[in-house]
Amino acid sequence: MDTRIVDHPAFRLVGHAARVPLIHHGVNPHIQRHVAALPAEEHLRLKVLGNTDPSGLLAVSDDLHPDLDDGSELTYLHGVAVSPDTPIPGGLDFIEVPAGIWVVIRTAGPYPQTLQKTWAAAAAEWFPSNPWRLRPGPEIVAALKPTNDFSTSTCELWLPIEPA
């Protein structure tokens, strides 16, 4: 598993949020509809706004149920990361993210299947064999090299962690 540990200063996640059900396998149609409803120029506006890591357009899951039950609700934000002092344009939602430590896991392959398998492997293999546990905070996916149809992608999965 291609991982690195990052100690990241505070930042904001800015974009368009919606409450959706958690779906563990396959494409989440609720998220797909949410993102598809955004005009193309909105994606460009967000890309220009982003100014810190994780970079690019982000898929953010926040306010997850602690048990991560399939069908439980979460807040999904399609957006970018910005520094805390970046002015937030009207009409955008935001999540304040305090400074903290993250495990960043790089994936490449069919999307979203490879990402979902990586998350499961992190839970089953990486966390039990490393001195870290999840801490409260958003889970972030940065699509670094997606194909035009998003059928495959190189991604980074950012998970908030703390010493176990």
pLDDT at residue number 96: 97
Report d(CA 157, CA 87) in Å as an integer: 26
Query: pTM of the full predicted structure?
Result: 0.92
The secondary structure of 48-112 as a DSSP string is HH--SSSPSSEEEEES--TT--TT-EEEEEEEEEE-TTSPPPTT-EEEEE-SEEEEEEEEEEETT
| pLDDT tens per residue across span 39-93 | 999 999 999 999 999 999 999 999 987 777 777 899 999 999 999 999 999 999 9
151 to 16, 100, 145, 161: CA distances (angstroms): 22, 32, 11, 29
pLDDT at 80: 98
